[in-house]
Amino acid sequence: MIQFGLIGKTLKHSFSKKYFTDKFETEGINDCQYDLFELAEISEFPNLIKRYGNQLKGLNVTIPYKKEVIPYLDELDENAADIQAVNTIKALPNGKLRGYNTDYFGFINALKEDWDLSNKKALVLGTGGASLAIKKALTDLGILFQSVSRYTTENAISYEHTFDGQWVEEHELIINTTPLGTYPAIDERPKLPYKQLTNQHLLFDLVYNPEVTSFLQEGLDRGAKIKNGYTMLVGQAEASWSIWNEK
């Protein structure tokens, strides 16, 4: 049996296992299996690789290990090296592990679909591993952005700071890269001055469960357009599958 899977810390409500299990069944792929591997610490990663040996052909990576897994890999493709975050790992025939970032392509395709991004500036909520591909994508799309974090740093303003001035009003594309609002903690959302939202705003949440997070609902209530992370995840998953099957 060819083994694939997802590594992360908490995976109970993961999209990936159902997606790939359904894909294998629908496409008649009978020799592949996709499982969830919860790791309490990234230091457990080498033991997982040893356990499956040559059976293991590919892994996806989610919060909080997209940056932390890099030292355990032998190679990075150019895109992952630029972003410095990995969400896809391929086991090469020579036994080495190569890291990729398919979040980048999944996000760009999902963001551009049906949205006019001209003259938009963005707020990127969160500064973890998930945010790195988003910021690279925005840079390549020519969209100016400001990072927002719990504390003010050299590269980010704090959530508290967004209540001073017109940060939300002037940045009409707002992207949540944090896990806030993920089921079952559905009432959580980034702390922002939501009263500044208008029907000109576009809200994108990488969270997809629930379909409409508390963050997105704040936008809907004020006429904003919204998207969740499902389309991005489908694009990311299919890109991972293509990488794993490249000769």
Looking at the annotation, which residues are catalytic? Answer: 66
Query: Are 61 and 89 within 8 A, CB to CB?
Result: yes
Here the contacts of 153-156 (C-beta below 8 Å, separation 24 or greater) are 153/127, 155/127, 156/127
- Number of Cβ within 10 Å of residue 65's Cβ equals 21
- Give alpha helix (H) positions in 33-128: 45-52, 78-83, 103-112
Query: Are 154 and 146 within 8 A, CB to CB?
Result: no
Taking the C-alpha atoms of residue 237 and residue 80, their distance in angstroms, rounded to an integer, is 16
Residues whose CB is less than 8 angstroms from the CB of residue 239 and which lie 6 or more positions away in sequence, other chains included: 88, 102, 105, 106
